[in-house]
Structure 1
Amino acid sequence: MFQTTAHTPVQSGESLAELAYRQIEEMIVTLSLEPGAIVNERALTDITGMGRTPVREAVQKLAWEGLMEIRPRSGIAIAELNPQDFSKVLDAREGIERVLARGAAQFGAQLHHRRLREASDAMSKAVSSEDVAGFLTADKTFDTVLGQAAGNPFAARLASPLQTHSRRFWFRLQRPGGLQQSVAAHKALIEAIINRNPERAEDAASKLIEHLRVLAP
């Protein structure tokens, strides 16, 4: 019924629960798990190749993030996707994104800069091959490193589900040329962070959100 994607390789030090989470999250974002669909734990273990425990932990986290709803005795519902909600997600996200961007520019280490460059290169590659799934994977990496580099775990925890919801809306609402524009907005933010320019990073974060607002109905 569903197919897994080749864009979720095991990362160093990653637990099975974290891998299961990334696999299921990606299927939700790319609508392989359709909005409103009802699935069960057995189906998710089959499509991820994971055991019940890591899948259950992943489902609990996704439910907390608002991407799934656990319905006792009837299954697990994939969150509906109402385009009218995109602007609400972006309203909640913009302030946190500015905090993370400023913090990453101030406190990011060389390790973070290296991983940000890798994400930037992956985004450029995705543009050249029109690889939307590849871009989404690189975007997820970028968001993760942004939260780590900022040194603010409270803001990072708030931002993470909003970033995932944004990717899902973007995938659903993207327009011709949208991939190139999204990559350009991300690369501008990455450069500001690596150049340790907090003010420019904040401005680039707002411009990224502004770019996404164009897609919102």
Structure 2
Amino acid sequence: MKSAEKDNLSTKAYEEIKKMILSGELKQGQAVSINAMAEQLEISRTPVTNACQKLEYEKLLTIVPKQGVIINTISIEDACGIYELRAAIESYNAKRVMDMMTDDDINVLKDSIKKQTTEVEAGDAHAFMDEDHFFHRYILSKNMNHELLSVINQLYDRAYMLGIKNSLSVRLNESIEEHKHIVAALEKRDRQAFADAIEENILNGFRSLTRRYLV
């Protein structure tokens, strides 16, 4: 098999397994054999093993030699670190990017909020999470260096798993209102309020999660 073909299969395996983890199809704490995943994906063990090594680096699973993998469980301590680091990075970034944000950018964020509302009304938590992360990533993208991007991508994948656990409609509606406050502060060009609103939105997600994390 050519090297390029092997790389393509490893990429396919990585994307599919990651999707199964983030969607909850593969549940936190679940043990899965490499053979079972290879059979499901209809590819050989080697690309699956390569994919799992990358996912282990991203802290989504743990490889158990001669047994397979275990999908990582995110503890409340892990969750605290994820949300606090996101809040620190995103509030810092907000102060830097506010002057770069145009009226067109504001309209993109408003459209995102409309989509979030539609998805909550449809009861689609996964689609809401996708749009929620688009909203935050869009702001980050206005001034994101490669090092921060690498860190934030890992945080967002793990935060996605937490967000699905925290996807009661009441919290999703609260988050939409908080997103409106973020945009309102941006429209007023209030740098501190913009940063504070982003930080509050993220930390409120953690506060909501801690109230029901062990339920």
TM over 0.5: yes
| Higher alpha-carbon deviation: 162-171 or 182-191 | 182-191
Segments of 5+ residues of structure 2 without an aligned counterpart are: 1-7
Cα RMSD of the aligned pairs, angstroms, is 3.5
The 1:148/1:133 distance shift into structure 2, 3 A limit, reads same
- Aligned partner of 1:36 in structure 2 is 29
| Structure 2 residue aligned with 1:131 | 124
Which residue of structure 2 aligns with residue 11 of structure 1?
Answer: none
2:83 to 73, 76, 90: 90
Deviation at 1:145, TM superposition (A): 2.9
Gap change, CA 1:198 and 1:152, over 3 Å in 2: farther
Distance 1:201 1:79 in 2: 34
| Distance change (3 Å), C-alpha of 1:135 and 1:38 | same
Q: Which residue of 2 aligns with 1:183?
A: 176
CA–CA separation in structure 1 for the residues paired with 2:76 and 2:29: 14
Structure 1 residues without counterparts, runs of 5 or longer? 1-14
Partner of 2:58: 65
State the distance in 1 between where 2:43 and 2:142 align.
30
1:154-201 CA distance string (max 9 Å, x none): 222222222222221232244451111122223433555577654332
Q: How does 1:1-217 map to 2 (within 5 A)?
A: 21=14, 23-44=16-37, 58-108=51-101, 116-190=109-183, 192=185, 197-214=190-207, 215-217=209-211
* C-alpha contact (below 8 Å) 1:116/1:142 kept by paired residues: yes
Q: Distance in 2 between matches of 1:108 and 1:52?
A: 46
- Cα contact 1:103–1:152 (8 A) shared by 2: no
For residues 31-74 of structure 1, the C-alpha deviation after alignment (integer angstroms, 9 at most, x for no partner) is 22111112244544565678878766653443222111123322
Give the TM-score normalised by the residue count of structure 2. 0.72
Change (3 A) 1:84 1:151: closer
CA contact (8 A) 1:35 1:81 kept: yes
Match of 1:12 in 2: none
Q: Residues 97 and 139 of structure 2 are in contact (CA less than 8 Å); yes or no, is this contact kept in structure 1?
A: yes
Greater gyration radius: 2
Amino acid at match of 1:216: T
Per-residue CA deviations over 1:72-105 (Å, capped at 9, x if unaligned) read: 3221221013234322322222211212333343
Q: Which moved more, 1:113-122 or 1:161-170?
A: 113-122
Structure whose residues are more often helix by fraction: 2
